[in-house]
């Protein structure tokens, strides 16, 4: 929608209004819509996530592990070594597709001589991806990914194993905090094309009500929560 010419957009929205038997927005109705868009109201906040920051971090880790992710709490200097160690512990190849993110550039990967790193979008042959995260949600143990040149969406979906590097300072209480951060980071009309909210590895219980991991994306998620 955001890439459509104004005339096409008006035609689409006009068709929707006609199907709903609504006319053009005018007067108070139009002003109310413009006011809501200019200053979006916050939705309800879940009480269990309204905590001091250290407790938010602990709650995030608890929920992430409950929902089949694994979590390691590390210092910044430990990030590259933990990625390599995780791959070794799980008999995974020492080769990763890594997001071309300035966040990940801040860690010293040069000491991992056995680790092969390819920067760029995910490909069908990739077994492991390493990405940052825009935010973590303590309420549900969810990681939030904002797409862009520094974070191709394919890295979230194609490899069997997804390693996420998340800073403690980027863990928030609930979903409403994420929307506020997105608006503050990107500004009006400049939102990322895609925002993925990912809660643990991909799973489904559709077949005989048995839980199967890796149904629509990675079957393993390992989250490195980096101390500030």
pLDDT at 196 over 90: yes
Give residue 47's pLDDT band: very low, low, confident or very high (50, 70, 90): confident
User: How many whole angstroms separate alpha carbon 124 and alpha carbon 53?
Assistant: 38
Q: Given this model, what pLDDT does residue 2 score?
A: 46
Looking at the structure, tell me whether residues 71 and 152 fall in a common domain: yes
CA 157 to chain centre: 11
Average pLDDT on 30-38 reads 76
pLDDT at 41 over 70: yes
Looking at the structure, tell me whether residues 32 and 94 fall in a common domain: no
Looking at the structure, tell me whether residues 89 and 186 fall in a common domain: yes
Q: Are strands 171-172 and 135-137 parallel, antiparallel or unpaired?
A: parallel
The pLDDT > 70 percentage for the chain reads 91
Looking at the structure, tell me whether residues 89 and 188 fall in a common domain: yes
pTM of the model: 0.83
In whole angstroms, how large is the CA radius of gyration of the chain? 21
Q: Given this model, what pLDDT does residue 207 score?
A: 64
Q: Which domain holds residue 25?
A: 6-38
Looking at the structure, tell me whether residues 86 and 142 fall in a common domain: yes
Closest CA to 115 of 92, 131, 134: 92
Looking at the structure, tell me whether residues 108 and 21 fall in a common domain: no
Average pLDDT on 59-84 reads 97
Looking at the structure, tell me whether residues 56 and 29 fall in a common domain: no
Token pair of 127 as six digits: 């077994």
Indicate whether 1 belongs to any domain: no
Reported as half-sphere exposure (CB side, CA atoms, 13 A), residue 177 has a value of 21
Looking at the structure, tell me whether residues 105 and 130 fall in a common domain: yes
Closest CA to 213 of 165, 161, 164, 166: 161
Q: Given this model, what pLDDT does residue 204 score?
A: 67
- Domain tally, the chain: 2
Looking at the structure, tell me whether residues 78 and 20 fall in a common domain: no
Looking at the structure, tell me whether residues 175 and 62 fall in a common domain: yes
In tens, the pLDDT along 140-170 reads 999 999 999 999 999 999 999 999 999 999 9
Looking at the structure, tell me whether residues 19 and 89 fall in a common domain: no
Tell me, what CATH number does 176's domain have?
A: 3.40.50.10420
CB 218 within 8 A of CB 162: yes
Query: What's the angle, vertex CA 226, arms to CA 85 and CA 44, rounded to 5?
Result: 130
In tens, the pLDDT along 91-130 reads 999 999 999 999 999 999 999 999 999 999 999 999 999 9
The answer to which of 8-17, 67-76, 118-127, 135-144 has the lowest mean pLDDT is 8-17
Indicate whether 148 belongs to any domain: yes
Q: Given this model, what pLDDT does residue 103 score?
A: 92
């Amino acid at each position: 929608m955001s890439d459509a010419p104004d005339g096409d957009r008006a035609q689409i929205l006009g068709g929707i209004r006609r199907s709903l038997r609504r006319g053009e927005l005018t007067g108070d109705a139009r002003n109310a819509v413009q006011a809501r868009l200019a200053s979006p109201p916050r939705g309800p906040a879940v009480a269990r996530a309204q905590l001091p920051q250290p407790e938010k971090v602990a709650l995030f880790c608890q929920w992430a592990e409950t929902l089949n992710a694994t979590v390691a709490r590390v210092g910044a200097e430990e990030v590259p070594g933990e990625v390599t160690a995780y791959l070794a512990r799980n008999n995974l190849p020492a080769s990763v597709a890594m997001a071309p993110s300035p966040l990940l550039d801040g860690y010293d990967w040069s000491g991992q001589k056995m680790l092969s790193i390819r920067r760029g979008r995910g490909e069908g042959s990739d077994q492991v991806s390493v990405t940052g995260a825009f935010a973590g949600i303590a309420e549900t143990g969810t990681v939030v990914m904002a797409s862009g040149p520094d974070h191709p969406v394919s890295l979230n979906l194609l490899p069997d194993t997804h390693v996420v590097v998340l800073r403690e300072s980027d863990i928030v209480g609930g979903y409403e905090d994420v929307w506020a951060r997105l608006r503050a980071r990107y500004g009006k009309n400049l939102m990322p094309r895609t925002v993925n909210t990912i809660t643990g590895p991909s799973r489904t219980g559709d077949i005989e009500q048995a839980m199967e991991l890796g149904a629509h994306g990675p079957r393993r998620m390992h989250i490195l929560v980096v101390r500030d």
